[in-house]
Chains A and B, each alone.
Chain A
Amino acid sequence: DGGITQSPKYLFRKEGQNVTLSCEQNLNHDAMYWYRQDPGQGLRLIYYSQIVNDFQKGDIAEGYSVSREKKESFPLTVTSAQKNPTAFYLCASSLHRDLNTEAFFGQGTRLTVV
């Protein structure tokens, strides 16, 4: 089945540790996105990538890093510099940057700092 897979579904991290969230898609989409969701704040864009080996900062990129070495993969690293990392993280992809086609979402990863 085609789609976007995020793993793990739940993730616990100790303060001061880096952690990487996985996002894989087999839809042959060019564009991929990472969003952070907090109650009452909607989805805020962290990073996005329109093509392999290229990515841009979104609105809240501080404390996060990404890579896009393969078309199907767009992992997000939450670094120790992110002061409040506990949140629900959503990955999405769309066919291309033109955005006249819909974005498809993964099921999300809930990250908790303990």
Chain B
Amino acid sequence: AQSVTQLGSHVSVSEGALVLLRCNYSSSVPPYLFWYVQYPNQGLQLLLKYTTGATLVKGINGFEAEFKKSETSFHLTKPSAHMSDAAEYFCAVGSSNTGKLIFGQGTTLQVKP
């Protein structure tokens, strides 16, 4: 079975500070991993994805994530937070084996001026 755990339901950073959102996954087959962002009362938008190949993945808006198989992690980072980054972020895992896309509980990012 697949599962995703996001550590910390709320993260607060100052504008210009490093953003780190944590995601650990469980999968019995090679996973596909995704980070999505959601603004209030809207759908989800893809930030970045890992399927195969390079383990450091760069996404939109300056975000990146590194797939670490040994740690079963896929943490999301951004060197310098911007006010517009305030939103809810979801990590997700999928596999071709099941066809299912499973999401974590989400992390709300607050950016303080």
A residues contacting B by CB (< 8 A) are: 4, 31, 33, 35, 40-45, 48, 50, 56, 58-59, 88, 90, 92, 94, 97-100, 102-103, 105-108, 110
Q: Which residues of A contact B28 (CB under 8 A)?
A: none
Contact of B103 among A43, A48, A98 (CB under 8 A): A43
Count of chain B residues near A, Cβ 8 A: 27
| A42-B104, A58-B100, A99-B32 known; A105+B43 contact, CB < 8 A | yes
Q: Does B78 contact A (CB under 8 A)?
A: no
**Would you call B102 an interface residue if the criterion is a C-beta within 8 Å of the partner chain's C-beta atoms?**
yes
Looking at A31, A33, A48, A97, which has the most chain B CB atoms within 10 Å of its CB?
Answer: A97
CB-based contact B99/A99 at 8 Å: yes
A42 and B99 CA atoms in complex are apart in Å by 19
Q: Find chain A residues with CB under 8 A from B101 CB.
A: 33, 45, 48, 92, 94, 99, 103
Partner of B43, one of A42, A50, A58, A108: A108
In terms of DSSP, what is the predominant structure of the interface of chain A?
A: strand
Q: How far is the CA of A35 from the CA of B43 in the complex (A)?
A: 11
3 smallest A-B Cβ distances: which pairs? A105-B43, A99-B94, A97-B99
- Greatest chain A CB density within 10 A among B9, B92, B103 is at B103
Are B99's CB and A48's CB within 8 A? yes
A29 to chain B, nearest CB (A): 13
Is there an interface contact between B102 and A45, defined as CB atoms closer than 8 Å? yes
Point out the residue from A4, A43, A97, A110 that lies within 8 Å of B41, measured CB to CB. A110
Chain B residue nearest in CB terms to A94: B101
Map CB proximity to A onto B41-61 as digits: 1 under 8 Å, 0 otherwise.
111111001011000000000
18 CB < 8 A contacts A-B: A42-B105, A42-B106, A43-B103, A43-B106, A45-B102, A45-B103, A48-B99, A88-B41, A99-B32, A99-B96, A100-B32, A100-B96, A102-B34, A103-B44, A103-B92, A105-B43, A108-B41, A110-B41
A98 CA to B31 CA in the complex, in Å? Answer: 11
